[in-house]
Each structure stands twice: as C-alpha cells, then as structure tokens.
Structure 1
C-alpha cells in the first residue's frame, strides 16, 4: 500500500445558530468583506440580513454581491472580483450552496492576484487540456464559507467549479490556498432546504464518496469517512427529504456532507463527475446532482464489468454500506449488489431519470465527451477502469 495524505483544514463551526459566529470569525481575517450569495433564497429566508448584521456588529464593513446562479460562470466570478477591487475588500464571505461557495473561491483567486496584475480572469486558473494555467498562490484572499445545503462539500474543499459560457467547459480547480479558512454549518439554515434540493444535494454526497472509495490508488485515510457518509445517506437522507424538521436527519446529512468534502479532498472523484460536469456545462438548467444521478448506473455497471478484484471489493463495500449486500467480498457478484443498492437509492429519491427526459440531445454527446477529457481529465484518469472516448460516448448513450 502506498498513499500520501495532504489535507489542508478549515475551522469547522457546526450546530444550530452558528451563523451568529460569522462576524467574529470573519473579523479575524479582514475588515471589509464581499458577501457572496445567490439571488433570492438567503434574502427570502432572512439569513442574508442576519449575516450582514453579524458582520457589521463585529466591525466588518460589508458589500453584498447577490448575483450567483447555479453553475456559476466566469463572467459572474470576474464581475465579483472587480467589485472587490473597487471596494477594497480584503475577505470573501460565501453564504449559500455550492455555487455561492465556488464563486467565492474564484473571486478570492482573481481579486487576490489582481493586486499586482490586472486583467486576470478566473479562467486563467482553470485547467483546459494542455493549457498552461496561472498558479493559485498565497495571494488568494481568505474565504469564509457558511453553507446552506448538505451536498457539495465545498465548505471543506479547496475546489471551485466554474463554467465558461463560451466553451461550455466546467472544470473544478483549487489548492490549499483556496481552502476556506472557516466553515459554518448552521442546522437552522439547512433545515430550510426544500425536499427536491435535499434529495439532489444529498445524492451528491453519495456520489462524491462512492467515487472516492473506488478511485485508483490507495486512500485509507479517506475510506472510513466515505463509508460512514454512505451509511448516513442510507439511514438519514430519505428522512430529511420527507421531513425537513427532522433535526437528527439534518445533522447527520450535514456531517455526511462534511465527511464527503474531506474525503474528496484526500482522494478525488472519478468518471461520474468527469461526465456530469459537461452535462450542466451544455445544459445549465440541469442540476449537478441530477446529472450525476442520470449517468450513475451505466458508469457503475461499466466499471464492475471491466474491473479487477480490487475494484470489485471496493464496490462490494459500497453495497454493504447501502445495506444491499453482506458481507464484503472481492467477487463480481458481490460488487454487482452495489448496482442494486444504487438503483434503490435513486428510485427512493425520484432521481432515476434518463438524460433524454432532462432535455439532453444525442447529438451533443461527442461535444460533451470532448469536454470531459479536456476539462476533467484528472477524474477520468482516477477512474478505477481505464476508459476511452468511445467508452464515454457509449455510457452517455446508455444514460439517455
């Protein structure tokens, strides 16, 4: 066994009412903040006003930037960075789901590196085939993250996922300098997630950790987190979907999300995320979680069919965590039980929808395939089974 454990850390503040800590925690890192949110939910629920009050009461002058939409684009991120430079902000605060946190990280990269060199775009930092990327350094502004969903894990990862509306590319990128300094997980915010959002983001938890478990290489420090996260998804996700006021279910899913983010930072995602990113790059109205769900079964079947004993054993562990099989075994038959468990999970969450039902057209498959290899090549390389472009095209077709 060989592995390397290199995990930067956030100061995680977890519990009901913890948003009130956002002011004092932000003050440790700066005096003037840009507060990055989506367009309506945090305002509608009152958490935006609360956050501003907490920040300003702690002596942090606050500029609100509430233009973030799902699948944040280079345009929105670069505009946010320009506001930081114009207003003289020295810390970036995210309040919202994965999109707000990803955008905040991108804004922090651009604004921090623009102090000495202007006309920088977040796309300069993004991987794109053989393109030479701008390094993300300690110049990146500090990020404080308060999550409103249990699913992306972005509050405890360094990764920003940004879409280029011109190329349709949607890579994930970041390093230790883009890791949030402080992460706030307030159950009072999370319990406001509607059922559909709870299901979609909760499935993202499963997707992260099941990919982390099966990725090439050895990752024993991530695997226990990943297994526990799947167990929590199995026991608590449907409960949270059916009853948003079930505090225990909300807490366990928030812990699972945090485990998934930490696991993902140690190990990494594989083919499922590599293929899902170009789906929402070309079809931005398709949520990330649903895109993952729609391609999950054909990918798992492909990996099991073409895997070795090590791969089968890892899928068998997923099957056991999904309560679909016992005991763990290194046979193809044991691994295949994971497919049964996955189908049951998707069905229970009403996420078992083909891509065609979501509006994906077969004619886009070649472009989406190219996008997966250009922008998410690392995930393809980490897949437990080597795949070609023809393999990916065929998986897309089976997902229609």
Structure 2
C-alpha cells in the first residue's frame, strides 16, 4: 500500500460561500476573471458578486469572456496575451469546467513562452517541461461536473487538428476554490444531468483505474453514492438546495479522485467524439457510450468486485454481479431523462467511428494504459457501434 496524498488547494464549500471570497488571502492584487462566452454568468449576477468581493478586498480586475463549452487553444492564447497586457498577477475561473480549465491554461501561458501545445504530451504536443510557474488560479465553480476545482487537470482542444488533450502538474492546482451550490441552481435540467454524470464517471473510472488506492477509493464510492441519491432530485428541481449540495460535494470529491487516481479510456473515447463535434457536451457524450463501455467490463469479468461495490454505492443494495452496476446506471439515466441521447443528433456518423478510435488512441492514449483491461481498437469500435443511434 503505497500512496501519495497531495492537494494544495484551499476549498471553501457550502451555500453562500462566495461571500467569503473577500476574507481570503488572495494571491495577487490584479485579477483576470475568466468567464464563458454565454450570458448566464452576468445575467444571474455571479460576475457582479465576484466583482463586489474583489472590490472589498481592494483587488482590481479585468474580464475575459470568450470561453466556449469545449474550450479551444486560440482562446487560451488570446487570454494569456490579455493577462500579460493588463498586468494581471492571478487568474479567477468563474464558471464550469471549461472556464476553470481555460483559466488554468491561460495562467500557464501568461508566464511561459511559446504555445500550450509545446507542453502537451500526446498528439502533436512537444512535451517540453514547463519552465516557469503559472499565475495562481482561484476556481469558483458554477456547475457540478468536472471537479477541476480539486485537481490540477485541464482539457483544451487544438481546433485545427481536432486534438482534445488533457494536461496538468503540481503547479496547476488552484490555490483557492469556492464551491457554492447557490451558484448552481440556475443550471437547466439537461445540463445538470450531463454534468452530474461526468462527475459520476470521474468516480467510476477512478475506482477501476489500475492506480486506484485507499485515498481515491473512499472518495469514489462516496461521490457515486451522493450522485445516485441526489442527482435525479437536482435534475427535477434545480432549486432543491439539499440535492444541489449533495451533487456539488460529489463533484468536488470526484475531482479529488482525479487527483489521487484518474480517468481511464472511457474519457479518451468521449474526448475524440467532442473533438470532432465540439457542440457535443462532454457529459452527454459520456452518457452515450457508458452502457456499452461498462457492459464490456462486466461481461468480461474484468473487475467484478469493484463493479458490485459501485452498484451498491449507486443504490442497488442487493447487487451480486457486475452487470448490476450497468442496470443501476441505466436506471439512473432514465431517472434523469438522459437515456435516449443520440450521437446522430450532434452530427456524428457511423463512418466517423473508426477515425474516432484512432483519435482517442493518438491523443489520449495514456488513459488506455491505466485501464483495468486491455482495450483493443476493435473493442473501442464495437463500443462506439453499440452506442450509435
């Protein structure tokens, strides 16, 4: 039993915790606030709240508001140049996973030379070492999906080559994260579901990962339990604050799973889908392939005891075999009204599926290396084909 626990992030969790931002020791005096290109951050008053807190703390700020749901490299370049031009000494990511991931990437490139892809491992990345510390990052999450407030990882797409690749190291953890469920009540039902399943799969993949350990196991099972218990309620009534709190906690725990263990090839397969079709929400893509993916694991008896433990955590107390997890997963998808998602609705064609297998292997191949099984290209194609509608 050899494990390392390293989480250098202060996390403020709880309803209305954003109001404590001004009381914290912030890592600079001039912030770049990174938000999405949509309207919700402004229209729901979340940006106003952050600006008010910064004013109370005597911190000046600039706003960069171009981030897409699947963030792209060109916006990282633009945001980093803007941060340097305006003399920002730390970055605040205010939004969902795409925004906070972008904030981390912008923080890296605000202090380092060249292009983010100089440091990326995989695909056309050059894999160079990051020579300078990034700007400090403060993460304020308005969704419960990626857990990026509690891990060092970021995922960006190089749009001209359809490469969607993750990156991170010990320097890219947020220094401070605020998880305030009251900022999540405005998320519409379908996105609540997509994000909740993303958090679920971070937990299930981390539990099945070959490097799973005692630390990650505890967080995985509790995150799975909370999602099974409360995600349907949060989808049904977005103002159910208790359900929102449970799902938000599950999401942050799932981020810790990402820190202490990590994703496996299910995420590689989805990243290829949304790299080619960036309008596909990441969580929706994961839902689409999940039944076939976990059925493959169950039918091949790869991790029966762990599949049974996940089924019990998800609410199936009498689980006795690996397929019980798949049954519990499908039941949760039905309860959240996301059991009939179609790849074809987002422009994916059957002819593209072999290309996506290749893309997944070339750009996020490292995740296949920590699978509990050996997944061949034929296996991947079969999972895609069984999932296609």
Residue 36 (structure 1) aligns with: 34
Per the TM alignment, residue 18 of structure 1 is displaced from its structure 2 partner at its CA by 1.7
**Aligned residue in 2 for 1:102:** 101
1:72-119 Cα offsets, whole Å, 9 max, x none, are: 000011100000111111100010000110000000010122xxx4xx
- Does structure 1 conserve the Cα–Cα contact (< 8 Å) formed by 2:96 and 2:141? yes
Q: Where do 1:134-145 residues align within 5 Å? A: 134-136=128-130, 139-145=133-139
Output the CA distance in 2 between the equivalents of 1:3 and 1:215.
15
Q: Does 1:314 align with 2:300?
A: no
Measured against aligned partners, the alpha-carbon deviations of 1:219-240 in whole angstroms (never above 9, x if no partner) come to 1211111111111111111111
* 1:377 paired residue number: 365
Q: Is 2:334 aligned against 1:347?
A: yes
Q: For residues 380-395 of structure 1, what are the structure 2 equivalents within 5 Å? A: 380-395=368-383
Which of 182, 203, 211 is the equivalent residue of 2:197?
Answer: 203
Q: From 162, 181, 185, give the equivalent of 2:156.
A: 162
Counterpart Cα distance in 2 of 1:340 and 1:231: 15
1-structure distance, mates of 2:349, 2:240: 39
Q: Structure 1's 71 and 64: CA in aligned 2 closer, same or farther, altered over 3 A?
A: same
1:64 aligns with 2:60: no
Q: After superposition, give the CA deviation of every residue in 1:45-89 in whole Å (9 maximum; x if it has no partner).
A: 011122112112211110000111101000011100000111111
Query: Post-superposition shift, 1:274?
Result: 0.9
Alignment match, 1:288: 282
Alignment of 1:218-367 (within 5 A): 218-308=212-302, 311-326=303-318, 334-352=321-339, 353-367=341-355
Instruction: Report if aligned partners of 1:158, 1:179 keep a CA contact under 8 Å in 2.
Output: yes
User: 1:217 & 1:3 partners in 2: Cα distance?
Assistant: 10
Aligned length: 386
Structure 2 residue runs without a partner (length 5+):
none
Change (3 A) 1:130 1:123: closer
Q: Cα offset for 1:356?
A: 2.7
Decide whether the 8 Å contact of 1:136 with 1:177 is kept in 2. Answer: no
Q: Could you tell me how far apart the structure 2 residues matched to 1:189 and 1:378 are? A: 34
* Unaligned residue ranges in structure 1 (runs of 5+): none
| C-alpha distance 283-290 of structure 1, shift in aligned 2 (>3 A) | same
Q: 1:159/1:218 Cα in 2 relative to 1: closer, same or farther (>3 Å)?
A: closer
Q: TM-score, normalised by structure 1?
A: 0.93
Name the structure 2 match of 1:181.
175
TM-score, scaled to structure 2: 0.95
CA contact (8 A) 1:138 1:177 kept: no
For residues 277-306 of structure 1, the C-alpha deviation after alignment (integer angstroms, 9 at most, x for no partner) is 111111111100000000001111112222
Deviation at 1:218, TM superposition (A): 4.1
- Runs of 4+ displaced beyond 4 Å: none
**How far off is 1:135 after superposition?**
2.0
State the distance in 2 between where 1:95 and 1:367 align.
34
CA distance in 2: counterparts of 1:217 and 1:104, whole angstroms? 28
Distance 1:306 1:33, change over 3 A: same
Deviation at 1:187, TM superposition (A): 2.0
Q: Give the CA deviation at 1:3.
A: 3.6
- Inter-partner Cα distance in structure 2 for 1:137 and 1:303: 40
1:9 matched to which residue of 2? Answer: 8
Give the superposition deviation at 1:271.
1.5
User: Matches of 1:31 and 1:156 in 2, distance apart?
Assistant: 23
Give the Å deviation of 1:362.
Answer: 1.3
Are 2:193 and 2:336, in contact at CA under 8 Å, matched by a contact in 1? yes
* SS at structure 1 position matched to 2:158: coil
Q: Is the 8 A contact 1:36 1:104 kept in 2?
A: yes
* Cα distance change of structure 1 residues 218 and 161 upon mapping to structure 2, 3 Å threshold: closer
